[in-house]
């Protein structure tokens, strides 16, 4: 049994989406970043964390990409990752890192300067630089996807969850996606029934985050 800890409507959705794709039952403990409960699961106080209650002791995993990789590895029969050391695994991991360090980074940078940082540290004009970097990342993604349906292979993997969620974030934050193939890819990912189920579960909570 899994418990997803953190605020719904944030990167936590990557974890609920992944669990829905894997068909695994889970509970959600809806707590705000940097709250006492969140700090007890993640030293940075950031959301999300996953508690895996399968063993003798609870295992806590933090960082959304690591959680998605862990879940894919725990359920290899669902084929959402690949054997460590294989070419496919290297590609999946590469997309997971790309999603965070290139595609997500400008979205997060802008969000920090709008809502997160202490007011005196916020730079309003950062938005233009973030949009510029996001355009570069989208152009790279278009090349990397080569018009495939999924990021790697013929099926949905953890990489698609991370990329798809970041596409959803870009839409909410009104970043323009200046690539038709990438827009189509995001649309396909956001139409996944598993994401709709994850959103419905999260809708049970009124306290939501913005991304
Ligand atoms: N690398 C982490 C980043 C987690 C993160 O920054 N989460 C945001 C919400 S989506 C958060 O907790 N922000 C609160 C803060 O930075 O104070 C992950 O992917 O899980």
Mean pLDDT of 175-202: 98
Measured distance CA(80)–CA(76) in Å, rounded: 7
Each residue's pLDDT tens digit, 125-176: 999 999 999 999 999 999 999 999 999 999 999 999 999 999 999 999 999 9
Number of C-beta neighbours around residue 42 at 10 A: 19
**One fold for both 2-80+195-202 and 87-192?**
no
**Which strands make up the sheet holding 2-6, listed edge to edge?**
26-30, 2-6, 49-52, 59-62
Share of the chain above pLDDT 90, in %: 95
Tell which CATH classification among 1.10.357.10, 1.20.1050.10, 3.30.1240.10, 1.10.3470.10 matches the domain 87-192. Answer: 1.20.1050.10
Compute the distance from residue 146 Cα to the ligand 1 centre, in Å: 30
pLDDT at 57 over 90: no
Q: So what's the pLDDT on residue 95?
A: 98
Q: Which residue has the higher pLDDT, 57 or 106?
A: 106
Q: Could you read off the pLDDT of 4-44 as tens digits, one per residue?
A: 999 999 999 999 999 999 999 999 999 999 999 999 999 99
Nearest residue by C-alpha to atom 11 in ligand 1: 46
Q: Whose CA is nearest to atom 15 of ligand 1?
A: 46
Please give all residues whose beta carbon lies within 6 A of any atom in ligand 1, as ranges. 10-11, 33-34, 46-48, 63-65, 116, 209, 211
Pocket-testing residue among 46, 96, 161, 202, ligand 1, by greatest number of atoms within 8 A of Cβ: 46
User: Structural domain boundaries of the chain?
Assistant: 2-80+195-202, 87-192
Quote the pTM value. Answer: 0.97
Topology at the third CATH level for domain 2-80+195-202: Glutaredoxin (3.40.30)
């Amino acid at each position: 049994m899994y418990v997803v800890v953190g605020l719904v409507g944030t990167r936590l959705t990557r974890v609920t989406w992944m669990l829905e794709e894997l068909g695994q039952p889970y509970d959600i403990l809806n707590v705000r970043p940097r709250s006492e409960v969140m700090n007890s699961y993640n030293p940075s106080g950031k959301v999300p964390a996953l508690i895996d209650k399968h063993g003798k002791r609870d295992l806590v995993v933090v960082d959304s990409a690591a959680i998605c990789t862990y879940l894919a590895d725990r359920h290899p029969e669902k084929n959402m990752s690949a054997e460590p050391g294989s070419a496919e695994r290297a590609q999946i991991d590469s997309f997971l890192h790309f999603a965070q360090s290139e595609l997500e980074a400008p979205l997060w940078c802008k969000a920090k300067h709008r809502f997160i940082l202490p007011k005196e540290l916020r730079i309003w004009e950062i938005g233009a630089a973030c949009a510029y970097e996001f355009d570069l990342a989208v152009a790279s993604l278009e090349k990397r996807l080569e018009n495939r349906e999924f990021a790697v292979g013929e099926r949905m993997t953890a990489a698609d969850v991370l990329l798809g969620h970041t596409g959803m974030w870009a839409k909410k934050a009104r970043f323009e996606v200046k690539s038709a193939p990438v827009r189509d890819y995001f649309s396909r990912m956001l139409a996944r029934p598993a994401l709709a189920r994850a959103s419905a579960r999260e809708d049970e909570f009124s306290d939501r985050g913005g991304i």
